[in-house]
Amino acid sequence: MPDSDRNRNWDVIVVGGGPAGLTAARVAAEAGVRVLVLEEHPQVGRPVRCTGLLSPRGLEEAGIPPDSQIVLRAIRGGIIHAPDGFRMEIEAPEPRAYVLDRAAFDRELARRARRAGVEIWTGVRAVGLHINIDIDRDRANHAPTLELRVRHGAEQLTLAATLLIGADGAEGRVARWAGLGPPRELIYTLQAEVAYRLGDGSRVEVFLGERTAPGFFAWAVPAGAGRARIGLGSPVRQNLRDHFVRLLERFGNPPILEVHGGVIPLGPPARTVAEDEHILLVGDAAAQVKPTSGGGLYTGLVCARFAGEVAAEAVKRGELSPNILQEYERRWRAAIGRELELGLLARGVFTKMDDASLSGLIRGLAHPEILAIIEQYGDIDYPSRLLKELLKRPKLWGRLLGLLPSRGSLAEMVKRLASQVERGP
């Protein structure tokens, strides 16, 4: 960690060196402002707590070609395991997702950020923030208004910045310091990379049911040659490890190469911008995560681009007014906000279903006509597009509704979800 005075003042400091933080930093630096990224772990990309699934759309957003060495697998389908043991098999005509070497992916994003002029400090933890509130907000200036205390081992340093971007994850400090609300729900996860060959390597597997992963799901994703990533998530921490042990038993207790726990945030807070404090949240720190799958790579990359653009524009203009910073909020919510809200509605339906109803629904989805629509229109980034296609076919939609209770809160939630999807953007 450099200790010269010239390295203590920055236009933008990004706390968190994951994909969202690195992308926001790169975009801001490419626009001509001085950016520092603080990553608390000793190296970028480690530990890996993500399945590393990214859609073709997300791969394009990241600027990674499908034939890159960072891409381990192309995923064309999946197997959904219902609670009663029924299997629904999906096979799309073209790749619907790619499995990444997440550590290599993050390192590549870091390389691009450095090439743009970003300085990255690893092993450095942000431990405190002082916000200077006695500044003349009617006067444009580039003087730092934030003082960030950081620690590197036993060494402590105070850094100054004009604007702070919090990209420090689901339980990050920056959101608390800024007084921004928490996500609506937290999903606790355990995942292992194991020595196991998962089918032909072109399909992921998903396991549903209260006995497997209460309130969420378990997964098995093919990774590198002879490897798979097996894990689960649940909003209930209790017995999570027991569920994880039983999940690995399904695969014959393969040798574990590495194992990690993590937290997935669902449901963004009401605000992701603290205007007076000059703070933006992005990625998992802003719960910009798909509620139906827990995936946050694509959404985080999209929002990070907006964060970097707005941060650079505000700093270069010397005007960090609420209106300018709120442009970030407007942009990201216009891009993915509605999809996240629909995902929360869909998740509400899912969590209301017992195992019997869920098994019946999976069997209904496996109807040849419905399955063909899933295989053609399924979209891991925008699942509402599939629902919209089903709504165009009243006979098939009615078939699915017939599998659910006709009265009560679950039925009302399904009707509300259908109404919101039909309404469109």
Of the CA atoms within 13 Å of residue 202, those in its CB half-sphere come to: 10
Q: pLDDT at position 141, please?
A: 45
**Cβ neighbourhood burial of 149 (10 Å; 0-12, 13-18, 19+):** middle
Q: pLDDT at position 416, please?
A: 66
Domain range 74-95+184-266, CATH class: alpha beta
Position 85 pLDDT exceeds 50: yes
Domain 5-46+104-183+269-336 and domain 74-95+184-266 have a common topology: no
> If pLDDT is split at 50, 70 and 90, which confidence band does 66 have?
very high
Homologous superfamily of the 5-46+104-183+269-336 domain (CATH): FAD/NAD(P)-binding domain (3.50.50.60)
Question: Considering only 187-191, 226-230, 232-236, 418-422, which range has the smallest mean pLDDT?
Answer: 418-422
| Three-state secondary structure call for residue 88 | strand
Q: What is the dihedral of CA 372, 374, 377, 382, to 10 degrees?
A: 180
Q: How far apart are the first and last CA of the chain?
A: 47
Position 381 pLDDT exceeds 80: yes
> If pLDDT is split at 50, 70 and 90, which confidence band does 355 have?
very high
Q: Give the whole-number percent of the chain exceeding pLDDT 70.
A: 88
Residues in the chain, how many? 425
Question: Hey, where are the domains in the chain?
Answer: 5-46+104-183+269-336, 74-95+184-266, 343-423
Identity of the residue numbered 207: F
Position 419 pLDDT exceeds 80: no
> In sequence order, which residues have a C-beta less than 8 Å from that of residue 99 and are 6 or more positions away?
51, 52, 53, 71, 72, 73, 75, 221, 222, 223
Quickly count: other Cβ atoms within 10 Å of residue 34's Cβ. Answer: 18
Over range 45-50, report the average pLDDT: 78
Over range 9-34, report the average pLDDT: 95
C-beta of residue 285 within 8 angstroms of C-beta of residue 167: yes
Position 305 pLDDT exceeds 60: yes
Q: Which carries the bigger pLDDT value, residue 412 or residue 289? A: 289
Over range 120-134, report the average pLDDT: 84
Each residue's pLDDT tens digit, 107-123: 999 999 999 999 999 99
Q: pLDDT at position 188, please?
A: 96
Q: pLDDT at position 386, please?
A: 83
Position 343 pLDDT exceeds 50: yes
- Whether the bond between 95 and the residue before it is cis, its omega within 30 degrees of 0, is no
> If pLDDT is split at 50, 70 and 90, which confidence band does 409 have?
low
Position 133 pLDDT exceeds 70: no
Q: Which carries the bigger pLDDT value, residue 390 or residue 397? A: 390
Q: Which two tokens stand for residue 17?
A: 């060196």
Q: pLDDT at position 154, please?
A: 83
Question: Considering only 298-302, 353-357, 385-389, 419-423, which range has the smallest mean pLDDT?
Answer: 419-423
Q: pLDDT at position 414, please?
A: 60
Q: pLDDT at position 4, please?
A: 47
Report residue 102: phi and psi, to 5°: -65, -40
C-beta of residue 300 within 8 angstroms of C-beta of residue 282: yes
* CA gap 335, 387 in Å, rounded: 19
> If pLDDT is split at 50, 70 and 90, which confidence band does 131 have?
confident
Over range 6-19, report the average pLDDT: 88
Position 276 pLDDT exceeds 70: yes
